[in-house]
Chains A and B, each alone.
Chain A
Amino acid sequence: MFADIWLVTNKDLRIEWRSRVTLSQVAPFALTVLVLFGFALDANPEVLTAATSGLFWLTVLFVAVVAVQRSTAIETADGARRALLLAGIEPSSVFVGKALAIAVQILGVEVLMVGGVLLFYDATVESLPLLLATCAVATLAIAASGTLLGALVAGVRARETVLPILLLPLLAPVLIAASRAFDDALGVLAVDGWAWLGLLAGFGIVNALLGMLAYGPLLEET
């Protein structure tokens, strides 16, 4: 199973590396959104500081939509989904493999974005372990939900518009929990960030399990 997962992750990342879409388009997009938030709120630096966590994770959600759309496009083009089915790999392994590939890409963009908020928003890191743990857990939760919905909308005609309508409300709990955990990690609010991290982990596990179960039927039928 792990070999299969690695195979799929490796395939997606290699396609990504060769096309460099994340590096040349998604990362600049994320930084642009961060800068635009800065323009919108720069009249009051205190508001910007207080809103840093929320703006950071909102941007991550936008990045996730783009990354999932890209990951879905790879499979839809040239009947690659059929090939994936015929390859005889367990659908749950394909799901985990694709989710990991998306997670790696989003994490890469997040590294840049953390630099961005430290530089532009004058943020300071109070708890590095919490910051890193939040990024890791939230990204996995986002990637799991995104991969599931990506497969779900793959055969829909208007998938570019349907995906955000479905994905963004589903990820709202992640936005809330990750923002609160970040508030604690950046020392913006006195909340228990680790408790919010627990909520994130619970959400991620439920969505990953649902995804592993539903991915097979979705891949075959849509």
Chain B
Amino acid sequence: MSADAVNTGSRTTRLLGAAVLIGVLALILLGFFGAPEDDEQRDAVRMIFVHLPSAFGIYAAMATTAVGSVMWLWKRSRWWDIVAHSSAEIGVIFCGLTLFTGSVWGRPTWNTYWDWGDVRLVTTLILFLMLVGYLALRSAGGDENAMATRAAVVGLLAAVNVPIINRSVEWWSNRTLHQKSSLTDGNLEDLTLFTLFVGIVVWALFFVWAMIHRFRIGWLEHQLRDIDLETALIQRRAEAATESSGEESR
């Protein structure tokens, strides 16, 4: 690696990264050995420590993408455009993780990996597909500003889905296997609740850590495009200069 290689890491991200690693370790210990098993779901309930924080991660990522998209459309701010892109990418990971852990959890508790009648499952899947579409659009290339505008509109369309997912359990209460909000109904044991909050904090730290790295990559890519454009302009000018001097000498 050359000496002036650019690194997306910094003191803050290294501290955050270390905190995430320690947090995951604590979560594993608390999740497997601290929190008690559930009366009905037995050990399967431990899935909640990964599943619920991932689902919250989707909300955080989509909210960030929505704000970034609005700010691009409103202020034409490149900074916010890259924020929207970065958080959508992390949102896809959270969305996939939520669907995967939910599926694995569903097998022992609902006796099925997937249920098409469950509104929350289906709406989360739709959001996942829309985010995949968002990233496909982003990767299609073309003019940077036009792409940012297109992506912002799609990002907002996808974000509209999130409130539907969140409220779907209440709206279609007879069409879901999901329990109603487990955090606020007071049925969880103290240590289970504590572990759950540890999970949420660890996932939040991970989100911030990943956001900073992904944002810096996005910013570097943007700068690279600028440099490429400048270099190309300089080269063309140089070519024009040689051609004209060649004509003069003739």
Please report A residues at the B interface, Cβ cutoff 8 Å.
Answer: 148, 152-153, 155-158, 162, 165-166, 168-170, 172-173, 176, 206-207, 210, 214, 217-218, 221-222
Contacts and interface: CB of A to CB of B under 8 A. Distances in A.
A169 B132 CA distance: 10
Contacts of A222: 143, 146, 149-150
27 contacts: A152-B137, A152-B154, A155-B143, A155-B150, A156-B140, A156-B142, A156-B150, A157-B140, A157-B142, A162-B137, A165-B133, A168-B129, A169-B132, A170-B130, A172-B126, A173-B126, A176-B122, A206-B160, A210-B153, A210-B156, A210-B157, A214-B153, A214-B156, A217-B73, A217-B149, A221-B149, A222-B143
A88 B87 CA distance: 37
Interface string B52-72: 000000000000000000000
Interface of B: 73, 122, 126, 129-130, 132-134, 136-137, 140-143, 145-146, 149-150, 153-154, 156-157, 160
A165 B143 contact: no
Nearest to B157: A170
B141 A157 contact: yes
Most chain A CB atoms below 10 A, which of B130, B136, B150 = B150
Contact of B130 (A169, A176, A206, A214): A169
A152 B146 CA distance: 9
Contact of A162 (B140, B143, B160): B140
Nearest to A173: B126
Contacts of A207: 157
Nearest to B136: A165
B107 to A, nearest CB: 24
Given A165-B133, A169-B130, A217-B73, A153 B150 contact: yes
Nearest to A220: B149
A221 B145 contact: yes
Nearest to B146: A222
B151 to A, nearest CB: 9
Nearest to A215: B153
A172 B119 CA distance: 12
A162 B151 CA distance: 12
Given A155-B142, A156-B150, A166-B130, 20 more contacts: A152-B154, A157-B142, A162-B140, A166-B134, A166-B137, A166-B154, A168-B129, A169-B130, A170-B130, A170-B133, A170-B157, A176-B122, A206-B160, A210-B156, A210-B160, A214-B156, A217-B73, A218-B150, A218-B153, A222-B149
